[in-house]
Amino acid sequence: MPAKKKIFIVDDHPLMRKGMAMTLDNSVEFTVCGQSESAEEALSEIPSIKPDACVVDISLPGMNGIELVKNLLAQMPDLKILVVSRHDEELYAERAIRAGAKGYVMKLEAGDVLVSAVRQVMNGGIYLSDKIGSQLIMKIASGQSAGDNPLEILSDRELEVFELTGKGESTKEIAQRLHVSVKTIDTYRARIKEKMHLKTANELMRRAVQWVEGETI
């Protein structure tokens, strides 16, 4: 029996980390060699542990998962990274792949899907759900550009702030969630308004709510 591949998990929800760890540890192929709840903690631990692959959540306090992927690959270019998220928007999957991740899995997927995704990534492939994969293929085939979706001009953090705004969170709540100052969130919102040509905070809120509810913006 070959040695199990080592997997490191980054997720700020303890129960989610525990569930993913149990799923991977129960497989015949993988073992969880470490866990962290933040990107900063992961960056300090992963280089010394040297896992074969990482499972990274997008929504992390402080530095988000997309930025973590970029930073990890800057230090360890051959590291295999699978992104997990509750977001089913193809926009997030595309950003994850652009950042260098080798796959994207919804958190609500069954445990065997996680194992299959890690296996495919470890074997040198790219894993996307059928839904997300089809959306990206259609986008490429239709020749859509970044200008076709106004949200694609937002940075990863700006998109995160836009989403949380649409979910009704206040500036203070978003600042606490992302571990930054209220002033920083105000700056992000100002940039979002400028990039999306929005004049008021109310207009920003309305557009964000529309997007979160699945409407065209």
Q: Which comes out higher in pLDDT, residue 162 or 129?
A: 162
Percent of the chain with pLDDT over 90: 63
In a domain, 201, yes or no: yes
Look at the chain and report how many structural domains it folds into. 2
Q: In terms of domains, do 64 and 134 share one?
A: yes
Q: Using alpha carbons, list the distances in angstroms from residue 46 to 51, 76, 131.
A: 7, 9, 31
CATH number for the domain harbouring residue 42: 3.40.50.2300
Compute the distance between CA of residue 208 and CA of residue 182 in angstroms, rounded to an integer.
19
Spatial neighbors of 178 by CB under 8 A, at least 6 apart, are: 61, 62, 157, 160, 161, 185
In a domain, 110, yes or no: yes
Q: In terms of domains, do 133 and 158 share one?
A: no
Where does residue 54 fall: left (phi above 0), alpha (psi -120 to 50 degrees), or beta otherwise? beta
Spatial neighbors of 157 by CB under 8 A, at least 6 apart, are: 64, 67, 178, 188
CATH number for the domain harbouring residue 154: 1.10.10.10
In a domain, 72, yes or no: yes
Give the model's pLDDT for residue 60: 85
Q: In terms of domains, do 17 and 31 share one?
A: yes
In a domain, 189, yes or no: yes
The mean pLDDT value for 93-109 works out to: 87
From 89, 116, 140, the end of a domain falls on 140
Q: In terms of domains, do 9 and 97 share one?
A: yes
Q: In terms of domains, do 135 and 177 share one?
A: no
Q: In terms of domains, do 170 and 118 share one?
A: no
In a domain, 85, yes or no: yes
Average pLDDT across the chain, whole number? 88
Q: In terms of domains, do 91 and 34 share one?
A: yes
Give the model's pLDDT for residue 215: 57
Q: In terms of domains, do 103 and 150 share one?
A: no
pLDDT, tens digit, 9 for 90 and up, residues 150-204? 788 898 889 989 989 998 999 999 999 888 899 999 999 999 999 999 999 999 9
Q: In terms of domains, do 102 and 131 share one?
A: yes
**Total residues belonging to the chain:** 217
Lowest mean pLDDT among 54-68, 94-108, 146-160: 146-160
Q: In terms of domains, do 106 and 156 share one?
A: no
In a domain, 217, yes or no: no
Tokens linked to 131: 């839904």
Residue 137: pLDDT over 80:
no
From 125, 140, 155, the end of a domain falls on 140
pLDDT, tens digit, 9 for 90 and up, residues 28-38? 999 999 999 99
For the question of whether the overall pTM of this predicted structure is more than 0.85, the answer is: no
Percent of the chain with pLDDT over 70: 90
Give the model's pLDDT for residue 140: 58
Q: In terms of domains, do 37 and 130 share one?
A: yes
Give the model's pLDDT for residue 108: 77
Domain hosting 155: range is: 146-212
From 107, 140, 173, the end of a domain falls on 140
Give the model's pLDDT for residue 138: 67
Q: In terms of domains, do 26 and 123 share one?
A: yes
